[in-house]
Copies of this chain bind each other. A is one copy, B any other.
């Protein structure tokens, strides 16, 4: 195997590690995905250990996380006890999965807390400073409508089956 190809590979793996870390995921997750993405055939945990330099335990948890996100699929081979994994190559599919995952996250809880705050504000409309109450209402409503827009966007994306380049391109036309 050529020297430069190995170089290119390991640069890519490092790049995906940084990217993963930057996005809030473990570095090892990015590295594992990168290795799988550059492999023509499914790899075992031991293969990943070899190519990433991480421990089997770390690989195990990272790959499981990737699988939960839909970025990696497990492939079982008959008459082979090992689990093999391959990378998802349809990124739009993967993005949808990640967005879906995040729906139940801390982020969404915060968003819905704004909604409930507004509801409470309307509820006991008698007490407290009336001017401040009005101001708060306005601010919270503005924030909520922003959140709603973001929410509609992401949930629209997750609902899509056939999101692909053509969809993205028509969106780009509007933004142009």
The answer to whether B168 and A117 touch across the interface, beta carbons within 8 angstroms, is no
Q: Give Cα A124–Cα B4 distance, bound, in whole angstroms.
A: 8
The answer to whether B132 and A156 touch across the interface, beta carbons within 8 angstroms, is no
Chain A interface residue count: which class? 35 or more
- CB-CB under 8 A for A91 and B143, given A153-B171, A157-B175, A172-B152: yes
Q: Give Cα A37–Cα B142 distance, bound, in whole angstroms.
A: 11
Query: In the complex, what's the smallest C-beta–C-beta distance from A19 to chain B, in angstroms?
Result: 4
- CB-CB under 8 A for A114 and B23, given A89-B139, A143-B37, A171-B171: no
* Interface residue ranges, A against B (CB under 8 Å): 1-5, 7-9, 11-12, 15-16, 18-19, 21-24, 37-38, 40, 89, 91-92, 105-107, 109-111, 113-114, 117, 120-121, 124, 127-129, 132-133, 135-136, 139-140, 142-143, 145-146, 149, 152-153, 156-157, 160, 163, 165, 167-172, 174-176
